[in-house]
Amino acid sequence: MPSSLRHAGLIPHMPSRRKVLTDQGRSRMLLHHFQQRGFVMTRIKFMCSTACLALLAGNAALADVTPEQVWENWKSLSTSYGQSMTTGSEAREGDTLVIRGIDLTSKNEGAEAVIHLDEVRLKDQGDGTVEMTMSDASTMTVKTEADGDLPATTTSLNMGMSGQRILVSGTPEEARYDFTVQNVSLALGAIEGPKDVPTDLKVEATLRGMSGSYLVSGAADKVVTSTVVADSLGITMSGTNPEDNSKIDLKADMSGLTGQSTSKIIGGDVSDLVAALKAGSAMDGSFAYAGGTLDMKVDGADGPMQVSASNTGGSLSFAMDAARLAYGGTAKDAQVTLSGAQIPFPQVNFGYKEGAFNLLMPVSKSDTPADFAFLTKIIGLTVSDEIWGMLDPTAQLPRDPVNVVLDTKGKVTLTVDLMNEAEMAALGEGAPGEINALDINELQVTAAGAEVTGSGALTFDNSDMETYGGVPAPTGQIDLKAVGVNALLDKLMAMGLVPEDQMMGTRMMLGMFAKVDPSAPDTMTSTLEFKDKHFFANGMQLQ
């Protein structure tokens, strides 16, 4: 299995045993059952992560000129990753070192995973390079202990590769790996233990047309940089819930995949991620795809339901070190169609032109403020006329696309390490730190013919928690602008959605906080200022 899969972010990190993927929408009829029992998605993520950790960590050690040195490096790295290894035989066959009957064992939070490889061949090319090939098929067995309402389980996963070639070149201090793989597949085998496991459950993922390269630099401390491309990724899932006989059939595809990453491994041991990060280990990377589709059918007691979705591409990015965690993503031209027995229309459509999110947060306690950022963005959101007809049957509201943007950054000072379980448990209901500053780079809400925009910057005095009722006293200014709000309020009142007496109170509140712009129709502006422990709206002191 090429190491670049994990470095490119295509394989998730090993999750805790209790962490379960959540389901969406109507798929809860079957997916929620699987996830609640904790025997499908959690195990698959654990198996994929552990398999790649064992196999791909070995690939990162192939920076030497002889097969024997390559194999010794693989074994030493396997140990540094907290794994144990046994083999049936290790012997030279001409210019090739052949290792047979390999078992790699990993343990994590009440679970044990054993990967079995029939054979690994390390061939001396005679020109300073080594070619590595592995068995096309391998297996993995995961055993988990009973935990509360979760029974002990034994799960098997079948892994396959076809058309593989890995060529190592360079020097022991800086080794380059070029690889190609026609297909990489992961398929769920059997699940033993729980009484209500679907007998027909099938889960499979296939990565097609993958190639790339990665560079490993250093000895005890390593830096691994990688790039990878793949033609497509396909995922299928089907099964029957034995409790109510509801069925699910899911198919997802992504095309034009690309990825790049950089990992800094200090001390050669990342089995304890928190300790590794504190020692100086770090990682970052990005992943993009050209387009994706999803088709899901659920047949339950309330009748059938179908979900179809597509987009024209997106991306994910991540970064982690001892001080920070960053995660973000984008999607373009998303379209979703829902149909089913419980929907009072033939189908419902919604979509958006652009979506994005971004999160940057510190994770380590510090005496000095650290950066944070948060972005959520959706542009051009539209819903089908059937939905609008329910909300506005007389078509009084403009049905323009909806835009929502909130882009912020600031400074916080953490008083605990967020990744330290003992410190977080001792914190109880208390706050993990203090907010020092908040900048609103952009605020935009556009809907039903009205738009509100704004920006501002605030700093906070954490020694004063009394002036604003338990909130650190702010200093700074926020500027807001509203266009078309009065016209929207008039239409809401005419539609009977807002009673006249409530509308009067709303307009009085607007009059307190906003002033009319005489140069533009139906436009109001507001300057909210916090100064000297007081609150001002357009220069008028309100507190």
Instruction: Say what the pLDDT of residue 43 is.
Output: 40
The residue-averaged pLDDT of 379-400 equals 89
What does the alpha-carbon distance between residue 490 and residue 543 come to, in Å, rounded to a whole number?
A: 30
262 vs 518, which has greater pLDDT? Answer: 262
Q: At 225, list the tokens.
A: 């940089």
Instruction: Say what the pLDDT of residue 490 is.
Output: 86
Given a cut of 60, is residue 318 above it in pLDDT?
yes
Pick from 64, 139, 147: which is nearest to 111 by CA? 147
What does the alpha-carbon distance between residue 7 and residue 227 come to, in Å, rounded to a whole number?
A: 8
CB 234 within 8 A of CB 282: no
477 vs 195, which has greater pLDDT? Answer: 477
Beta strand pairing call for 303-311 and 324-340 = antiparallel
CB 36 within 8 A of CB 194: no
Helices then strands, counting H and E runs in the chain, come out as 9, 27
Give the number of other CB atoms < 10 A from CB of residue 125.
13
Given a cut of 50, is residue 243 above it in pLDDT?
yes
Given a cut of 90, is residue 207 above it in pLDDT?
yes
Give the number of other CB atoms < 10 A from CB of residue 522.
16
CA 251 to chain centroid: 19
What does the alpha-carbon distance between residue 490 and residue 193 come to, in Å, rounded to a whole number?
A: 62
Q: At 451, list the tokens.
A: 């738009």
What does the alpha-carbon distance between residue 21 and residue 475 come to, in Å, rounded to a whole number?
A: 41
Q: Quick one: pLDDT band at residue 296, thresholds 50, 70, 90?
A: very high
Instruction: Say what the pLDDT of residue 170 is.
Output: 79
Give the number of other CB atoms < 10 A from CB of residue 47.
24
- Distances in Å between the Cα of 385 and the Cα atoms of 275, 311, 345, 393 are 54, 21, 11, 10
What does the alpha-carbon distance between residue 305 and residue 338 come to, in Å, rounded to a whole number?
A: 8
What does the alpha-carbon distance between residue 155 and residue 542 come to, in Å, rounded to a whole number?
A: 64
389 vs 36, which has greater pLDDT? Answer: 389
336 conformational bin, left if phi > 0, alpha if psi -120 to 50, beta if neither: beta
Given a cut of 80, is residue 72 above it in pLDDT?
no
Given a cut of 50, is residue 321 above it in pLDDT?
yes
Q: Exposed e or buried b for every residue in 342-363, given b needs 16+ CB within 10 A?
A: eeeeeebbebbbbbbebebbbb
CB 214 within 8 A of CB 226: yes
Q: At 9, list the tokens.
A: 């972010």
Given a cut of 80, is residue 173 above it in pLDDT?
no
∠156-160-161 over CA atoms, to 5°?
A: 160
Handedness of CA 528, 533, 534, 535 (dihedral sign): positive
- Cross-strand bridge partners of residue 187: 158, 204
Give the number of other CB atoms < 10 A from CB of residue 254.
22
Query: 227-231, 442-446, 500-504: which range is least confident on average?
Result: 500-504
102 vs 36, which has greater pLDDT? Answer: 102
Query: 202-216, 386-400, 441-455: which range is least confident on average?
Result: 386-400
What does the alpha-carbon distance between residue 2 and residue 123 come to, in Å, rounded to a whole number?
A: 17
Instruction: Say what the pLDDT of residue 76 is.
Output: 67
CA 421 to chain centroid: 21
Q: Quick one: pLDDT band at residue 476, thresholds 50, 70, 90?
A: very high
Given a cut of 90, is residue 422 above it in pLDDT?
no
| Cβ neighbours of residue 318 closer than 8 Å, sequence gap 6 or more | 9, 283, 284, 285, 286, 326, 327, 328
Please state the length of the chain. 543
Query: 155-159, 184-188, 366-370, 490-494: which range is least confident on average?
Result: 490-494
CB 283 within 8 A of CB 277: no
Q: How many CA atoms lie within 13 A of 48 on its CB side?
A: 23
What does the alpha-carbon distance between residue 292 and residue 136 come to, in Å, rounded to a whole number?
A: 28
Q: At 79, list the tokens.
A: 């140990």
Structure pTM? 0.79
What does the alpha-carbon distance between residue 164 and residue 120 come to, in Å, rounded to a whole number?
A: 12
Q: Quick one: pLDDT band at residue 63, thresholds 50, 70, 90?
A: very low
Query: 115-124, 134-143, 290-299, 496-505: which range is least confident on average?
Result: 496-505
What does the alpha-carbon distance between residue 168 and residue 132 come to, in Å, rounded to a whole number?
A: 8
Instruction: Say what the pLDDT of residue 81 is.
Output: 67
Instruction: Say what the pLDDT of residue 205 is.
Output: 96
The residue-averaged pLDDT of 81-89 equals 86
Given a cut of 90, is residue 107 above it in pLDDT?
no
DSSP assigned state of 15: P
Q: Which helix (H) or strand (E) holds 56?
A: helix 41-59
What does the alpha-carbon distance between residue 222 and residue 217 come to, in Å, rounded to a whole number?
A: 6
Q: Exposed e or buried b for every residue in 173-188, given b needs 16+ CB within 10 A?
A: eebbbebebebbbbbb
CB 18 within 8 A of CB 147: yes
pLDDT digits 0-9 by tens, 8-51: 333 333 333 333 333 333 333 333 433 334 333 344 334 434 43
Q: Quick one: pLDDT band at residue 1, thresholds 50, 70, 90?
A: very low
CB 120 within 8 A of CB 132: yes
Q: What is the mean pLDDT of the chain?
A: 84
Q: At 486, list the tokens.
A: 């009065």
Query: 180-184, 329-333, 345-349, 439-443: which range is least confident on average?
Result: 345-349
- Distances in Å between the Cα of 158 and the Cα atoms of 84, 190, 312, 434 are 21, 10, 32, 48
What does the alpha-carbon distance between residue 411 and residue 325 come to, in Å, rounded to a whole number?
A: 14
Q: Strand ranges (DSSP E) for 125-221?
A: 130-134, 137-144, 153-162, 165-171, 174-192, 202-217
Given a cut of 90, is residue 103 above it in pLDDT?
yes
346 vs 350, which has greater pLDDT? Answer: 350
pLDDT digits 0-9 by tens, 482-512: 999 988 888 888 887 778 778 888 888 887 7
Query: 14-23, 168-177, 366-375, 500-509: which range is least confident on average?
Result: 14-23
Q: Quick one: pLDDT band at residue 361, thresholds 50, 70, 90?
A: very high
Give the number of other CB atoms < 10 A from CB of residue 204.
14
The residue-averaged pLDDT of 507-521 equals 83
